[in-house]
Amino acid sequence: MDSSAKTGKRPGKAKRRILTAAARLFRGRGFDRCTVRELADEVGILSGSLFHHFRSKDDILFAVMEEVIVDMDATLAAALDSAPTTHDELRALIHNQLEFIHGPQADATAVLVYEWNALSPDGQARLLARRNAYFRRWQEVLTKARSEGLTNVDPVVSRQLIHGALVWSANWFDTNGAMTVEELEQAVMSMILV
Amino acid sequence: MDSSAKTGKRPGKAKRRILTAAARLFRGRGFDRCTVRELADEVGILSGSLFHHFRSKDDILFAVMEEVIVDMDATLAAALDSAPTTHDELRALIHNQLEFIHGPQADATAVLVYEWNALSPDGQARLLARRNAYFRRWQEVLTKARSEGLTNVDPVVSRQLIHGALVWSANWFDTNGAMTVEELEQAVMSMILV
Amino acid sequence: MDSSAKTGKRPGKAKRRILTAAARLFRGRGFDRCTVRELADEVGILSGSLFHHFRSKDDILFAVMEEVIVDMDATLAAALDSAPTTHDELRALIHNQLEFIHGPQADATAVLVYEWNALSPDGQARLLARRNAYFRRWQEVLTKARSEGLTNVDPVVSRQLIHGALVWSANWFDTNGAMTVEELEQAVMSMILV
Amino acid sequence: MDSSAKTGKRPGKAKRRILTAAARLFRGRGFDRCTVRELADEVGILSGSLFHHFRSKDDILFAVMEEVIVDMDATLAAALDSAPTTHDELRALIHNQLEFIHGPQADATAVLVYEWNALSPDGQARLLARRNAYFRRWQEVLTKARSEGLTNVDPVVSRQLIHGALVWSANWFDTNGAMTVEELEQAVMSMILV
DNA sequence: CATGAATGAGCCTTCATTCAT
DNA sequence: AATGAATGAAGGCTCATTCAT
């Protein structure tokens, strides 16, 4: 007889459940418009109990973002490592970003991108290194791509343009719609390539 | 000697000053993290006075957004009217959007895009018609562009990709930096065109 | 061409119109739940203009009450003077009170009775003399009535019981209903008399 | 050693204490002239804590009224049930009303009667059924009383006249004065009876 | 006299956070 | 770990009142 049977609560570690619910809530209604009570309700505990797991509401936002940014960077690093050509690396860049924006971590990724300003200055500072590392990988690939004649736009500029185009898809692309993520990936590729 | 010299208040109609300050504040710190007292301070009045000009804080957000969306649509309509070719229309699309994102109405435009969820459901409904009209113009031009072979991506998809890329520039492009808006415009054009 | 034609406002002295509207409003929704803006709207002026005629909102309440209490006492005095018998005096007491509660000054009278606590301590003090004078007349008549065997209840008590019964009729008696004020008067008389 | 000794707080359930204080305050100074901070002070908590127990200030007024009206109706029903004669029923009517107006629930009863207009339309609607039930009992007794020749005034009219007389006593009758409630009851009876 | 923008105190309510149980 | 009452700062908004025009 596990504890979830006794308490009637859904299984899974509390921290995990809080983070998942927080990502969904923060994404849907914005960090500031969500109350800790709503979050606690969603998890099935009382608001006071949240503070046994996280020091503050800000801390929850930070944890959501940190987890996804660490994952995203690690996944990208691995994907780039196993990409034989620059063209494959380019595709890995886009694939990885879309995977996060529309995959299992979609909520957390959207929160990372669109609630960045809700994060405390301190939190931003602590996440900046990872963020920079991630974009450095983009930069390197795009620089190589231009030098190889695959694209003809300045890497700094194209990095931002592509990033903007990709993350915005969180707001319109429907995973259950007619178009698949692979097709979207292909469309982006065809815009980038000369 | 104008009245502002006599009263010691900054010139300009109060509503105008509120809207301008609101756009800057809402953009910089997010609608929910701004207080009406901050806004009033910025304008140089007391918080209560705000409510002589707007019924509520929500109303101010609505007014900021409505003004810019109306302007944006009207300006685009005019620009498209005087564009001789589809290529020129395509450029007008991008030029117009960048003009708003980085021109005098930069703050309000950023608010329109990134604080959309902060707007009340009712407010969203009342602005939707304009928003749709604006995007319909994009759709039409992009459809024509593809049928003429200028691009080869589905209009719905390319509209969203380009929109995402352009509005994201609000977060990184520096008007006072080395790159001009015209150059940015050119970079985007070159990514779109086959 | 009078000024009301020019300004489009209803005729009559401003003070009068304010007092009439105030009585109706205060009675209907309570002094505290009425705003000076509502009152000004009703009169057809702006809220600021109210303060050319009265020093404060409290002052308006005071004026409404003072006018009616002065009238009520004067009318009662006259009626008692011309009442040949104690029985007639008794009837005058009731008639006069009902005349005010349901006649042209119904609103002001209801305000006097039911908004007494909304009046400032200072205002209450300034009206107390009149209030006392009015009730003294009741007391005298009721004392005489008992000594003559018309009633058999202590004058202090009966004065309050009758007063309560009469003023409460403001809350239920319908001037346009089947029962006339005269019939109501008769019903009260029959309850009082032995 | 009970918990109140340990926490330093006054004993009694919070809701109860709030309701009691609210009745006293609302009665003394009127619902609109009382602030939630005053009420919280009186109870010995902070204003925010009020809203753990009641959704709104309106809700508190409603709760005060609901409790007393339910009690009042139940007590009257019981009293009428055990009254052997119509004469006794008549006395029960008056006794019950005076018991509430001057007994332990005096404040709440006064609030019910004199702050009815401060209650939201919705609140009024939700209390109307009880109010009507209570008055229906009066009506029935008074109808019977007239048919038996105990009184000779129309039941609808006498119900309102007596009700007015009785509730008004909240404003003048002094429980600690020379006259007892029983004597007051007797005085009212003698006015009603033929 | 009237206007109406501005005032500023104060109101009800919300909400992240604490803590004794 | 969880509870839930209490906290207390802050938030959006109201409103009687003032005053330059």
User: Which of C169, C187, C192 has the CB atom closest to D164's CB atom?
Assistant: C169
| pLDDT recorded at residue B115 | 96
Between CA B100 and CA B109 the distance in angstroms is 6
- Residues whose CB is less than 8 angstroms from the CB of residue D145 and which lie 6 or more positions away in sequence, other chains included: D86, D87, D89, D90, D151, D155
Residue type, D61: L
From residue A21, alpha-carbon distances to A17, A50, C50 in Å are 6, 12, 55
Between CA C101 and CA C76 the distance in angstroms is 13
Mean pLDDT of B21-41: 96
Answer whether residue D10 shows pLDDT above 70: no
Residue A5 burial (10 A CB sphere; 0-12, 13-18, 19+): exposed
| pLDDT recorded at residue C8 | 42
| pLDDT recorded at residue A147 | 96
What architecture is the A57-192 domain classified under in CATH? Orthogonal Bundle (1.10)
What are the tokens at D164? 């007015």
Mean pLDDT of B29-36: 96
Question: Is D52 near strand F, with its CB below 7 A from some atom of it?
Answer: yes
Using CB atoms and an 8 Å cut-off, which of residues 31-60 of chain A contact chain B? 32-33
Between CA B77 and CA B71 the distance in angstroms is 10
Q: Is B167 on the interface with A (CB under 8 A)?
A: yes
Mean pLDDT of B73-98: 97
What are the tokens at B45? 């009045």
| pLDDT recorded at residue C13 | 85
* DSSP H/E element including A42: helix A36-43
Question: Going by beta carbons, is chain C in contact with chain B, meaning 3 or more pairs sit under 8 Å apart?
Answer: no
Between CA D106 and CA D117 the distance in angstroms is 19
| pLDDT recorded at residue B100 | 98
Give the gyration radius of chain B's Cα atoms: 19
| pLDDT recorded at residue C120 | 94
Between CA D47 and CA D190 the distance in angstroms is 48
| pLDDT recorded at residue A8 | 42
Answer whether residue B4 shows pLDDT above 50: no
Between CA B136 and CA D114 the distance in angstroms is 60
Q: Is D191 on the interface with C (CB under 8 A)?
A: yes
Answer whether residue B62 shows pLDDT above 80: yes
| pLDDT recorded at residue B13 | 86
Least confidently predicted of A165-169, B105-109, D60-64, D151-155: D151-155
Between CA A72 and CA A66 the distance in angstroms is 10
Mean pLDDT of B5-28: 78
Q: Is A29 on the interface with B (CB under 8 A)?
A: yes
CA max distance for chain C = 63
Q: Tens digit of pLDDT for each residue in D67-82?
A: 999 999 999 999 999 9
Confidence band, pLDDT 50/70/90 cuts, at residue B173: very high
User: Which of C29, C118, C161 has the CB atom closest to D165's CB atom?
Assistant: C161
From residue C110, alpha-carbon distances to A140, B57, C90 in Å are 84, 39, 22
In this complex, do A190 and B29 lie within 8 Å of one another by their Cβ atoms?
no
Answer whether residue D167 shows pLDDT above 60: yes
**For D10 and F6, how far is CA from C1' in angstroms?**
14
How far does CA A27 lie from the centroid of its chain?
11
Alpha-carbon distance A98 to nearest alpha carbon in chain B (angstroms) = 13
Q: Is B113 on the interface with A (CB under 8 A)?
A: no
CA max distance for chain B = 63
Between CA D138 and CA D155 the distance in angstroms is 9
Domain boundaries B56-192, CATH class: mainly alpha
Q: Tens digit of pLDDT for each residue in A13-51?
A: 889 999 999 999 999 999 999 999 999 999 999 999 999
Question: Is A14 near strand F, with its CB below 7 A from some atom of it?
Answer: yes
Nearest chain D alpha carbon to C158: D187
**For D49 and F8, how far is CA from C1' in angstroms?**
10
From residue A4, alpha-carbon distances to A9, B124, C71, C147 in Å are 5, 41, 77, 84
CATH code for the structural domain at C65-192: 1.10.357.10
Least confidently predicted of B7-11, C145-149, D15-19, D156-160: B7-11
| pLDDT recorded at residue A12 | 66
In this complex, do A32 and B29 lie within 8 Å of one another by their Cβ atoms?
no
Between CA A165 and CA A97 the distance in angstroms is 11
User: Which of A161, A171, A173 has the CB atom closest to B188's CB atom?
Assistant: A161
In this complex, do D118 and C30 lie within 8 Å of one another by their Cβ atoms?
yes
| pLDDT recorded at residue C194 | 78
Which positions in strand F are less than 7 Å from the protein's CB atoms?
1-21
Question: Is C29 near strand F, with its CB below 7 A from some atom of it?
Answer: no
Question: Is A45 near strand F, with its CB below 7 A from some atom of it?
Answer: yes
Which is more confident, A194 or B137? B137
**Average predicted confidence (pLDDT) for chain B:** 92
Domain range list for chain C = 65-192
User: Which of D29, D154, D160 has the CB atom closest to C168's CB atom?
Assistant: D160
Answer whether residue D11 shows pLDDT above 60: no
Confidence band, pLDDT 50/70/90 cuts, at residue C77: very high
Q: What is the DSSP letter of B9?
A: P
Identify the residue whose Cα has the smallest distance to the C1' of E11. Answer: D35
Confidence band, pLDDT 50/70/90 cuts, at residue B8: very low
Between CA B59 and CA B111 the distance in angstroms is 14
**For C53 and F17, how far is CA from C1' in angstroms?**
13
End-to-end CA distance of chain B: 59
What are the tokens at A97? 């970003």
Low-confidence ranges of chain A (pLDDT < 50): 1-10
Between CA B122 and CA B175 the distance in angstroms is 35
Answer whether residue B186 shows pLDDT above 80: yes
